[in-house]
């Protein structure tokens, strides 16, 4: 017997189907609520609203579970590689050796960008935040590959756009950084793996025989895996809604980059380090800053803490916290803010304010400490998040388009003026 839910409005009962997901999540399907009842629902921030059915990523916020296509994030972070995870998210299965070699080889063939991209880059002053440059360069692909604007593009054309996106994102990211520091850009060295190729473009100076530290490349590969997808978060929902208008993959993902930039979302990793540095400079009094975070009038939040879905530890934060320890030891880096971060976590997790609100460290709380140890500048932290999240955005955009989902167009409750006559300016 199919499960249903009833809603009573003005004494009339309406019945709606209840659907149950793979992991027994329950949803009331209100697709015909307006047609049946004339009423809509209201849910600021969509805290209680499902936008779609998806087979890509599963989160359990209470148990702190994260799985990509059924594989646990712990397994993938320990045993997989970023390109293998990208293939899994986008195509639904772990690749065979031949499939991965072809995917990686196709990506290598597209790491270069058109020389005219430099003209766009030159238009950005060195004071530009790399996230704004990245979003612009990524969207500029619509100019160089106009065939991607065709909403009915054949599958092989979509595959080419996917490969170009993954191939050129590191080049755009490294070039955005070089623009910020006023250095000449580097071209991709396709003899290297995905992360090493990026790191060499990021750090190599002209005519330098730059060698990438494998410890750094491995740590970055793990971080990109941990950021690769996270179901219907703010930036992914942005990619989906822009893509639902049949906008190209490049413009949809560029919109996602901009959504990720916000300090409440991916921009938090940069804010965490700035916060930890401020606490260190202020003498490291964690109790004082915890109290500030609890004071609504302070305007201060403990950045890297809290999550819309996780009401337990963010599993990524646990993995990154351990990785931070390992990487700093391997690189011989002693970062005083790591100790402050651990002290903040210890104090917060025994404080009733945080306990009652189920506020735990999220993915951004420790990631910045690793990025810093890898020598990545703080303005580039959210760019690293975008590089990691790219396969997730691609997978979600592809799923939405393959499922032929309708254009996203939420409704509203109007609370403005009733009808009123126009008043000429002389009479106002």
Could you list the active site residues?
307, 364
Contact present, 221 and 81 (Cβ < 8 Å): yes
Query: From the CB of 313, what's the least distance to ligand SDX, in Å?
Result: 12
User: Taking CB positions, which residue lies at the least distance from ligand SDX?
Assistant: 306
268 versus 273: smaller Cβ distance to ligand SDX: 268
Q: What are phi and psi of 18, to 5 degrees?
A: -105, 125
Q: Which of 227, 190, 248 is nearest to 86 (CA)?
A: 227
Could you tell me the smallest distance in angstroms from the CB atom of residue 300 to ligand SDX?
Answer: 8
**Shortest distance (Å) from residue 240 CB to ligand SDX:** 13
Least CB distance to ligand SDX at residue 315 (A): 11
For ligand SDX, the closer of residues 84 and 364 by Cβ is 364
Q: 114 vs 294, which CB is nearer to ligand SDX? A: 294
Nearest residue (CB) to ligand SDX, 45 versus 206: 45
What are the structure tokens assigned to 421, written together?
């006559």
Kindly list the residues in this chain that would bind ligand SDX in the complex (CB under 6 A): 45, 230, 233, 264-266, 268, 293, 301-309, 357, 359, 362-364
Tell me the closest approach of the beta carbon of residue 318 to ligand SDX, in angstroms: 14
Judged by beta carbon, residue 280 or residue 308, the one nearer ligand SDX is 308
**CB neighbours of residue 31 within 10 Å:** 9
Residues β-bridged to residue 19: 27
Closest distance of CB 211 from ligand SDX, Å: 32
Question: 129 or 230, CB closer to ligand SDX?
Answer: 230
Q: Return the number of the residue (99 or 291) whose C-beta is nearest ligand SDX.
A: 291
């Amino acid at each position: 017997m199919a499960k249903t839910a009833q809603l009573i409005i003005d004494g009339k009962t309406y019945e709606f189907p209840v659907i149950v997901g793979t992991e027994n999540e329950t949803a009331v399907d209100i697709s015909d609520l307006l047609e049946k009842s004339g009423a809509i629902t209201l849910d600021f921030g969509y805290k209680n609203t499902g936008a779609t059915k998806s087979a890509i990523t599963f989160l359990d916020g209470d148990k702190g579970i994260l799985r990509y296509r059924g594989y646990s994030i712990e397994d993938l972070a320990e045993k997989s590689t970023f390109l293998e995870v990208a293939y899994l998210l986008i195509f639904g299965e772990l690749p065979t050796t031949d499939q991965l070699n072809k995917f990686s080889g196709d990506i290598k063939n597209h790491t270069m960008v058109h020389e005219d991209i430099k003209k766009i880059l030159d238009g950005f002053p060195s004071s530009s935040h790399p996230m704004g440059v990245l979003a612009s360069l990524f969207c500029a692909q619509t100019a160089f590959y106009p065939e991607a604007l065709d909403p009915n593009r054949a599958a092989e054309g979509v595959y080419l756009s996917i490969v170009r996106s993954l191939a050129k994102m590191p080049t755009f990211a490294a070039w955005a950084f070089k623009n910020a520091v006023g250095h000449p850009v580097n071209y991709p060295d396709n003899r290297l793996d995905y992360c090493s190729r990026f790191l060499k473009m990021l750090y190599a100076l002209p005519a330098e025989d730059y060698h990438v530290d494998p410890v750094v490349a491995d740590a970055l590969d793990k971080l990109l895996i941990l950021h690769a997808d996270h179901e219907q978060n703010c930036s992914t929902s942005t990619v989906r809604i822009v893509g639902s208008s049949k906008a190209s993959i490049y413009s949809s993902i560029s919109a996602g980059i901009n959504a990720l930039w916000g300090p409440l979302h991916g921009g938090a990793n940069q804010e965490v380090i700035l916060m930890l540095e401020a606490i260190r400079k202020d003498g490291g009094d964690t109790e004082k800053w915890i109290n500030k975070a609890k004071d609504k009038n302070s305007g201060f939040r403990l950045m890297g803490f809290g999550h819309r879905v996780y009401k337990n530890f963010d599993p990524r934060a646990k993995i990154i916290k351990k990785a931070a320890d390992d990487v700093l030891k391997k690189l011989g880096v002693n970062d005083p803010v790591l100790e402050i971060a651990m002290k903040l976590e210890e104090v917060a997790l025994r404080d009733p304010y945080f306990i009652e609100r189920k506020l735990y460290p999220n993915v951004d709380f420790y990631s910045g400490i690793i990025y810093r140890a890898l020598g990545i500048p703080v303005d580039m932290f959210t760019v690293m998040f975008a590089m990691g999240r790219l396969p997730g955005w691609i997978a979600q955009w592809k799923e939405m388009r393959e499922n032929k989902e309708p254009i996203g167009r939420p409704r509203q409750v109007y609370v403005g003026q009733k009808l009123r006559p126009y008043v000429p300016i002389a009479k106002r």
